[in-house]
Structure 1
Amino acid sequence: MQVAEGTFLHADLDSFYASVAQRDDPSLRGRPVAVGGGIVLAASYEAKACGVRTAMSGRIARRLCPDLIEVAPSFTSYVEASRAVFDVFRDITPLVEGISIDEAFLDVGGLARLSGSPSRIGGELRRRVKAEVGLPISVGIASAKFLAKVASAASKPDGLLSVPVGGELDFLHPLPIEALWGVGKVTAGKLHAHGIGTVGALAAVEEQTLIAIVGQGSGRHLHALAHGRDPRRVETRTRRRSIGAQRAIGRGRHTGAELDAILVSLVDKVTRRLRSGERIGRTFVLRLRFDNMTRATRSRTLRNATAGTDAWLVAGRALLEEAMPMIADRGVTLVGISITGLDGSDDEQLELPLGDAAGPSRPSAALDGALDAVRDRFGSAAVTRGVLLGRSEGFSTPQLPDHG
């Protein structure tokens, strides 16, 4: 009999800063790495095995791990990697709640018929983040958000753990109290002083007794969590500042025609999502990853914000043409695009129908609308651009309209 699964995913990148450093510098892979100067901001799992921890002084870290390699932080790389990972999240489901630069909750409850079980979706998420961004990620699956977060922590490094529906307390109660949200050193010390060391022991304490130990707010919060209660939903109220897509294309030389076809496909996909969410954008960003794992980002801002495919295709092709010398020299393994500076489509200022790259002409906008209608009714493969005919587009999960 198939085990029922929860529909909340918590996805958490593993040792994010250190993993980005190891991704970008192959000589660091498999070696103990600490990111930071005087204080450790992140440690690779090889460094953690030696006892190195976040917020530890560099002096103590070097004493614990004589072979430790210290690297300076690169916040531009972290932001770029985070955006690429969140692009994958939002390509899987529009119900994404980011809670930090390297983790998010996803609600996949409406995707069973399209994409399969939550475990299958979680596995596909992990595969895509590894293939498209080059980073390991752990995923927890459960019927409540906090349980999914606990499960992702238990699955690390680079794992997936699904807590079956009905088995929440069996999973939760043997864990130490420190596994719960809100249990830091001070709270843990108070609980341990009363002989409470596991979540199960915490659940056996009356709520009023718990309030007397840790205070009213914490007492009620921890009592609910210890019994598996967390009614919160995934919150997606924050308006997105960009919409993007990317494609890993593997090592080897790729012709200009092949790269142009990939760009056309990505622009088609992203602009359709813009229009379905009634959004317009102003800046086009092209991201490239090369054979040596280095990266480059190029951008171009239009005079007027738009959701028109033709205008963005002109901008994207110009950026790709500028990047061709780098591509010829280094090879390319990933092409990604994003459109930023988003606003509501009601704010679009239409120009006279001159058809230049600065804004969509009325015939172009009408064509975009007609193509969107055909694809909405008959599927995304019902109509395509001539440049894409005969080229493998790969499998992609049907997406719900993106409303930010």
Structure 2
Amino acid sequence: MSVRKIIHVDMDAFYASVEQRDNPALRGKPIVVGGSPEGRGGVVATASYEARKFGIRSAMPSKRAQQLCPEVIFVPPRFPVYREVSQYVRDIFRRYTDLIEPLSLDEAYLDVTEDKLHIGSAIAIARQIKQAIRDELQLTASAGVSVSKFVAKIASDMQKPDGLTFIAPEQVESFMEQLPVEKFFGVGKVTAEKMNGMQLFNGADLKRLTEDELVRHFGKAGRFYYKIVRGIDDRAVQPHRETKSVGAEDTFPFDLTQIDDMNAELEKLSQKVVARLEKYQLKGRTVTLKIKYADFRQITRNQSLHAPIADFPTIFETAKQLLLRTEPDDVKIRLLGVTLSNFNEEKPETGQLSLF
């Protein structure tokens, strides 16, 4: 089998960069797209690099963003414009390959193992794509090039903004050994803390454990960790991938026993979900609440609404009502999750659910 050539392209601070491109008065200034410091539930969709220097990040509450940078400028999102630019970027990709897997409006995988223009070099193709985006759209993108999706995605984030990182086939395993566990797919704060507590800090540490040991400690994800630290990632680029749900969950350092604490966590999770919905420009009809109790018993409850929604108040209030239906008095909860799904009734104008 020939070695695959995978490129991950990630637009740099996409929404914010488009706003700064179109409005010269915003260039060089800390701006946030989405949210507002006034009103409840506003969250950051994207922050410019000038704003990120203050610690502002996506999904952060707007009030917190303003606390970190009082002079930050809040800009309302213009999703029709972002979709138009995103489609143009995808057209650039199509000059080289039809094997394109969109992840959101601002990033995608490309398989250029056999490219249309017979260039042969994935690095050369990535450079040409980046240059076309700069010349034709006056925007920048970062790219990661390697033999698998996982490594290409990690690589694209290594030299942002306007970066290009290549991880050669013979470098993949050593690259994975040096990678901090926090960078592994699916490793959030709680899992990272658990790993660190086991003296697992990077891929080399994970590599010391057998597959059975990893599964025992981390469930099904353990099989993924076992393969990926050895550079094994056979996942194909999927041109017709669709997003089925958007959600967020968190495992708590101590069990929740008070309804006010549970609602406070549901509020944070709902904010994260709204930020992701804004990024993917999606609306859904079904809100699902996930609960894991102290005894590891797990339940889900869901509510389907009459019309597609993506707003914080509706998602948060629905999650709270679902929680009440579980009779949360005298229980101990170690995990909560909120998910929005059933996007079928809110498709883009093209007639299919495409995120790029």
TM-score band w.r.t. shorter chain: 0.5 to 0.7
**Is the alpha carbon distance of 1:69 and 1:210 closer, same or farther for their aligned partners in structure 2, counting shifts above 3 Å?**
same
Query: Which position in structure 1 is the counterpart of 2:9?
Result: 11
Query: Which position in structure 1 is the counterpart of 2:173?
Result: 169
| Letter in structure 2 aligned against 1:131 | D
Task: Name the CA distance, whole Å, in 2 between partners of 1:238 and 1:167.
Answer: 29
Cα offset, 1:237, TM superposition: 4.1
For 1:105, what is the secondary structure of its paired residue? strand
Q: What does 1:344-355 correspond to in 2, within 5 Å?
A: none
Residues 349-380 of structure 1, C-alpha deviation per residue, up to 9 Å, x if partnerless?
xxxxxxxxxxxxxxxxxxxxxxxxxxxxxxxx
Cα offset, 1:84, TM superposition: 0.9
Residues 157-207 of structure 1, C-alpha deviation per residue, up to 9 Å, x if partnerless?
110001012111222221211211111223222212211111221122222
Structure 2: unaligned runs, 5 residues or longer? 36-41, 243-348
Question: Is the counterpart of residue 89 in structure 1 residue 93 in structure 2?
Answer: yes
For 1:168, what is the secondary structure of its paired residue? helix
| Alignment partner of 1:231 out of 234, 244, 252 | 234
Task: Name the CA distance, whole Å, in 2 between partners of 1:104 and 1:181.
Answer: 16
Task: Name the CA distance, whole Å, in 1 between partners of 2:207 and 2:10.
Answer: 27
For 1:52, what is the secondary structure of its paired residue? coil
Task: Name the CA distance, whole Å, in 2 between partners of 1:116 and 1:26.
Answer: 39
* TM-score of the pair, normalised by structure 2: 0.63
Task: Name the CA distance, whole Å, in 2 between partners of 1:52 and 1:342.
Answer: 35
Contact 2:12-2:162 within 8 A present in 1 as well: yes
Q: What does 1:151-162 correspond to in 2, within 5 Å?
A: 151-162=155-166
* TM-score of the pair, normalised by structure 1: 0.56
| Letter in structure 2 aligned against 1:232 | R
Question: Is the counterpart of residue 26 in structure 1 residue 30 in structure 2?
Answer: no
Query: Quick one: percent identity of the two aligned structures?
Result: 40
Question: Is the counterpart of residue 220 in structure 1 residue 223 in structure 2?
Answer: yes
Question: Is the counterpart of residue 44 in structure 1 residue 48 in structure 2?
Answer: yes
Question: Is the counterpart of residue 118 in structure 1 residue 122 in structure 2?
Answer: yes
| Letter in structure 2 aligned against 1:22 | Q
For 2:50, what is the secondary structure of its paired residue? helix
Task: Name the CA distance, whole Å, in 2 between partners of 1:341 and 1:98.
Answer: 15
Contact 2:144-2:153 within 8 A present in 1 as well: yes
| Letter in structure 2 aligned against 1:222 | Y
**Is the alpha carbon distance of 1:112 and 1:198 closer, same or farther for their aligned partners in structure 2, counting shifts above 3 Å?**
farther
Q: Could you say which structure has the greater relative contact order, defined with CA pairs below 8 angstroms and 6 or more residues apart?
A: 2
Cα offset, 1:112, TM superposition: 9.1
Q: What does 1:286-325 correspond to in 2, within 5 Å?
A: none
Question: Is the counterpart of residue 142 in structure 1 residue 110 in structure 2?
Answer: no
**Is the alpha carbon distance of 1:34 and 1:166 closer, same or farther for their aligned partners in structure 2, counting shifts above 3 Å?**
same
Task: Name the CA distance, whole Å, in 2 between partners of 1:223 and 1:230.
Answer: 11
**Is the alpha carbon distance of 1:5 and 1:69 closer, same or farther for their aligned partners in structure 2, counting shifts above 3 Å?**
farther
Q: What does 1:358-369 correspond to in 2, within 5 Å?
A: none
Residues 233-283 of structure 1, C-alpha deviation per residue, up to 9 Å, x if partnerless?
2222469xxxxxxxxxxxxxxxxxxxxxxxxxxxxxxxxxxxxxxxxxxxx
Query: Which position in structure 2 is the counterpart of 1:200?
Result: 204
For 1:141, what is the secondary structure of its paired residue? strand
Task: Name the CA distance, whole Å, in 2 between partners of 1:81 and 1:146.
Answer: 26
Residues 16-69 of structure 1, C-alpha deviation per residue, up to 9 Å, x if partnerless?
111111111122122111111221111111111111111112222112112211
Q: How many aligned positions are there?
A: 239
Task: Name the CA distance, whole Å, in 2 between partners of 1:80 and 1:11.
Answer: 17
Contact 2:6-2:152 within 8 A present in 1 as well: yes
| Letter in structure 1 aligned against 2:188 | G
**Is the alpha carbon distance of 1:80 and 1:190 closer, same or farther for their aligned partners in structure 2, counting shifts above 3 Å?**
same
Task: Name the CA distance, whole Å, in 2 between partners of 1:173 and 1:29.
Answer: 39
| Letter in structure 1 aligned against 2:21 | R
Task: Name the CA distance, whole Å, in 2 between partners of 1:5 and 1:16.
Answer: 31
| Letter in structure 2 aligned against 1:235 | Q
**Is the alpha carbon distance of 1:214 and 1:121 closer, same or farther for their aligned partners in structure 2, counting shifts above 3 Å?**
same
Cα offset, 1:11, TM superposition: 0.6
| Letter in structure 2 aligned against 1:125 | I
Contact 1:202-1:223 within 8 A present in 2 as well: yes
For 2:33, what is the secondary structure of its paired residue? strand
Query: Which position in structure 1 is the counterpart of 2:332?
Result: none
Query: Which position in structure 1 is the counterpart of 2:33?
Result: 35
| Alignment partner of 2:76 out of 72, 83, 91 | 72
Query: Which position in structure 1 is the counterpart of 2:254?
Result: none
Cα offset, 1:129, TM superposition: 1.1
Task: Name the CA distance, whole Å, in 2 between partners of 1:130 and 1:5.
Answer: 29
For 1:213, what is the secondary structure of its paired residue? helix
Q: More displaced, 105-114 or 90-99?
A: 105-114
Cα offset, 1:110, TM superposition: 1.4
| Letter in structure 2 aligned against 1:31 | K
Contact 2:95-2:116 within 8 A present in 1 as well: no
- Structure number with greater Rg is 1
